[in-house]
Amino acid sequence: MRLVEGLVGFLPIVAILLVFWLLIIRPQQRKQRETMRLQSSIEVGDQVMLTSGFFGTVTDLIEDKADIEIAPDVVVTVVRGAIANRVTESYDDPDDGADELAADPDGELDGGAPPRLEKTTDDAPASHDPRPGDN
């Protein structure tokens, strides 16, 4: 009888641990496996996004490192762990925005923004205005 009562008292702890494992640990393990699979499947020529937010094209793979061209003639070397995603659509398409330019008769992509105000002498700081570094 006491054994059954002890097991019943232990059951909520087991249920909490099971829910914790199902909701937190298991999805994190799945995501980690997918990330490792992605990083090991990267090939030269793939367009990728780095964890820092840079986009680029893989130019070389050496062991656990990758050379990524982030701009013409600008290549950075990163560890494969810095590759967050493979980009499936081109991010540097030269025709991007061509439709917007054609639809904007004045050639300014302002989207109806209010006009910029020019700085006047009234905007300049007064001579007695304390500024950091001015002593």
Note the pLDDT tens digit of each residue in 47-104: 999 999 999 999 999 988 999 999 999 999 999 989 998 988 755 555 555 555 555 5
**What amino acid is encoded at 116 in this protein?**
R
Cα dihedral 30, 27, 25, 65 sign: positive
What DSSP assignment string belongs to 47-105?
Answer: EEEETTS-EEEEEEEETTEEEEEEETTEEEEEEGGGEEEE--S-S--TTTTHHHHHH-T
Tokens 């025709």 correspond to 95
Whether the per-residue pLDDT at 130 is higher than 70: the answer is no
Spatial contact of 36 and 50, defined as CB atoms under 8 Å apart: no
> Average model confidence (pLDDT) for the chain?
78
Q: The tokens of 56 are what? A: 């680029």
Query: For residue 127, how far is the Cα from the chain centroid?
Result: 45
- pLDDT above 90 covers a percentage of the chain that reads 35
pLDDT at residue 7, as a whole number: 78
Backbone phi, psi, residue 65, to 5°: -120, 160
Strand order in the sheet with 65-71: 74-79, 65-71, 55-62, 47-50, 83-86
- Exposure of 46 in the CB half-sphere (CA atoms within 13 A): 20
